[in-house]
Chains A and B, each alone.
Chain A
Amino acid sequence: MSGAPGEVLAIVLLGATLVVAVVRPWGLPEAVVSVPAAALVLALAILPLHVAAEEARSLGPTLGFLAAVLVLAGMAERDGLFAAAGTWMAAASRGRPVALLAVVFLVGSAVTAVLSLDATVVLLTPMVFVTATQLRLRARPHVYACTHLANSASLLLPVSNLTNLLAYRASGLSFARFGAIMALPWLAAIAVEWLVLRRFFASDLVGRGVSDRGRRAVLPTYPVVVIGLTLLGFFVTSIVHISPVFAATAGAVALVLPAVGSRKASLKDVAVMVDVPFLAFVLALGLIVAAVSYRGLGSAVEQLVPHGSSLWSLLALAALAAVLANAINNLPAVLLLLPAVAAGGAGPVLAVLIGVNTGPNLTYVGSLATLLWRRTLRRHQAEPPTSEFLRLGALTVPPVLLASTVALWLSLRVVG
């Protein structure tokens, strides 16, 4: 199927894939619709096989990275890394709310950069909630700092966010160079978040909590060393021109083997962490978006997006990406935008990344569409985000976008 019908069908399939991925009717894995949809795209030749094969080949390392990082974070939690982080944050804050916010920023930024935003959202945020509550401090500023940093502090490394892995693939940068260019935008985003949150939650950062918990943080040595070496491996492999996926895989294996050997974890646990259905979903989503782009939307997007690496076009790209991420969620947004800007080099690719990563803070956990779908299509028991949270997003996202993009522009001039 070619031409307009093919394009329309590809867009319909993309829409269906996204809706199912977000709503997950009857708890079905997102792959249930996305994989057949991708198969249909191939069977009807909406996407030619050779283009599909090329897309799948280039997505391979990205999926390997994703799997390895999911395992690293999952195993680190099993080994007590996040519990230790909670104890350490409690001790380091000594019951002072602003000090706790500072250590939450420190730990949240580090965990997000190294173990990805997933680890911050899923593993660190509940720990921060419990830590603040047990210190008898108000949890609100600290929890919201975590959910914000999961997005804003995910700019640093290719492994920090799935969108980064996709941008890393498109940018043609080495791992080390990616990190070197994004260091300044990352710091700028964190600094703006700190300034805004510190003021915004001033009325909750009062008084003094319980400080004498009498518990000392015992950092689990082995996982910390393995994660540190893995991080080092990312840079070393990229300097000697080996794919850093090998470093990620080696790190994951180094954490899994002793755990499985001593029966602390079963292979089934590891399989759950690897999350094959999700990897299949990402691959299928990549193919469907490739079909949508191939059948004409790609060139349309290409005409719409600003080109060049001037400060203004970088700012426009970041803003556009942020809007798109809020409308259709950041994963499809980055898949749609990257092919259109990749020819422009690292600058535009990374500007898109700043938009899709920091933009979702505007509407709570991902996208406005996410919430609307959730509320209309499923009787959701959860509370909608408060106006307070939306105000916080409106106050942080524009300055973060601005500061990070200007920092990126500077960084590109310095690091190149």
Chain B
Amino acid sequence: MQVIVWLAEGTWEGCVVAAAPLIPADARVSLLYVVAEDVSHAAGAAPEGLMGRWRPRPGLTEKMAAEAAASGEALLAAAAGLLGRAGVVQVIRRGRVEREVVAAAEAADLLVAARDGDRSRLGPHSLGPATRFVVDHAPCAVLLVWPDEVPGVGSIPPPPEGGRRDHSAPPRSQHPPRPAHGEARGRR
């Protein structure tokens, strides 16, 4: 079984911790980091809007993409250490993040991703745009894990016209803590 784990800044640690117990022991695991080239390009090419003031600095965009790649390598190395498995492959790709993740998952059986997004307001828009794209287009099963605390069932607001049923949730401490919350989706 080929498993690919997509990691990004801010959520990588939680993603690894949550995914580790869910990945089968005999799986071949790759850790993926994508350098967002649109960002390094936005930083490096912005002077082009200045109408000739300041000559473009040759290689600046590439230098920044290289800086991002180096940071990504460090992130993957730290994640591999945290995962603590043998034979983990570390993959760095460059480009549009969401498209690179989907492309990287082409030969995989399972793609693990963090529930990336604004988790303070859970709802249809709480998946970040890149994660949303990956969930929609992944060519394999997707396992979404919470990178931090798993919200209880009580975090769901009552339905708009409700009121008859009692929705007051029990205090969170009554829920046993779960390592992860998975949302698997297969197409094969």
Residues of A within 8 A of B14 (CB): 207
Bound Cα distance A144, B53 (Å): 20
Contact of A204 among B45, B74, B128 (CB under 8 A): B128
Q: Chain B residue with minimal CB distance to A29?
A: B52
Bound Cα distance A364, B49 (Å): 8
Residues of A within 8 A of B49 (CB): 121, 360, 364-367, 370
Q: Is the interface of B mostly helix, strand, loop or mixed?
A: helix
Residues of B within 8 A of A129 (CB): 39-40, 43, 64, 67-68
> In the complex, what's the smallest C-beta–C-beta distance from A387 to chain B, in angstroms?
10
Contact: B129 with A143, CB < 8 Å? no
Contact: B75 with A140, CB < 8 Å? no
Bound Cα distance A385, B9 (Å): 22
Contact: B47 with A203, CB < 8 Å? no
Residues of A within 8 A of B54 (CB): 118, 121-122, 275
Q: Chain B residue with minimal CB distance to A365?
A: B49
Residues of B within 8 A of A117 (CB): 50
Contact: B44 with A365, CB < 8 Å? no
- Total CB contacts across the A-B interface at under 8 A: 137
Contact: A140 with B39, CB < 8 Å? yes
Listed stretches A39-47, A130-138, A336-344; interface member = A130-138
Bound Cα distance A192, B168 (Å): 37
Contact: A21 with B11, CB < 8 Å? no
Given contacts A130-B67, A133-B71, A208-B10, whether A329 and B51 have CB atoms under 8 Å apart is: yes
Number of interface residues of A (CB under 8 A): 55
Contact: A383 with B67, CB < 8 Å? no
> In the complex, what's the smallest C-beta–C-beta distance from B136 to chain A, in angstroms?
15
Contact: A118 with B38, CB < 8 Å? no
- Give chain A interface residues in 113-160, CB to chain B under 8 Å: 117-118, 121-122, 125-126, 128-130, 133-134, 136-140, 143-144, 146-147, 150
Contact: A136 with B43, CB < 8 Å? no
Contact of A365 among B48, B71, B129 (CB under 8 A): B48
* Size class of the contact patch on chain B: 35 or more
Q: Per-residue CB proximity of B1-24 to A under 8 Å, as 1/0?
A: 000000011111110000000000
Bound Cα distance A386, B45 (Å): 14
Q: Which of A70, A150, A203 has the most CB of B within 10 A?
A: A203
Residues of B within 8 A of A385 (CB): 38, 42
> In the complex, what's the smallest C-beta–C-beta distance from A229 to chain B, in angstroms?
25
- Give chain B interface residues in 26-61, CB to chain A under 8 Å: 36-54, 57, 60-61
Q: Chain A residue with minimal CB distance to B78?
A: A136
Residues of B within 8 A of A388 (CB): 129
Contact: A207 with B147, CB < 8 Å? yes
Residues of B within 8 A of A130 (CB): 64, 67
Does B179 have its Cβ within 8 Å of any Cβ on chain A? no
Given contacts A133-B71, A138-B8, A140-B36, whether A365 and B46 have CB atoms under 8 Å apart is: yes
Residues of B within 8 A of A166 (CB): none
Q: Chain A residue with minimal CB distance to B41?
A: A383
Given contacts A121-B49, A122-B50, A206-B11, whether A144 and B71 have CB atoms under 8 Å apart is: no
Contact: B10 with A207, CB < 8 Å? yes
Bound Cα distance A97, B51 (Å): 32
Q: Chain A residue with minimal CB distance to B47?
A: A122
Given contacts A150-B46, A202-B118, whether A118 and B53 have CB atoms under 8 Å apart is: yes
Q: A117-B50, A382-B45 are in contact. List 12 more A-B contacts (CB 8 A).
A: A30-B51, A122-B46, A128-B43, A136-B71, A136-B74, A137-B9, A150-B46, A203-B117, A203-B118, A207-B13, A209-B10, A366-B49
Q: Could you tell me which A residues sit within 8 Å of B by CB distance? A: 21-22, 24, 29-30, 70, 97, 117-118, 121-122, 125-126, 128-130, 133-134, 136-140, 143-144, 146-147, 150, 162, 202-209, 275, 278, 281, 329, 331, 360, 364-367, 370, 374, 382-383, 385-386, 388-389
Q: Could you tell me which B residues sit within 8 Å of A by CB distance? A: 8-14, 36-54, 57, 60-61, 64, 67-68, 71, 74-75, 96, 116-120, 127-129, 131, 147
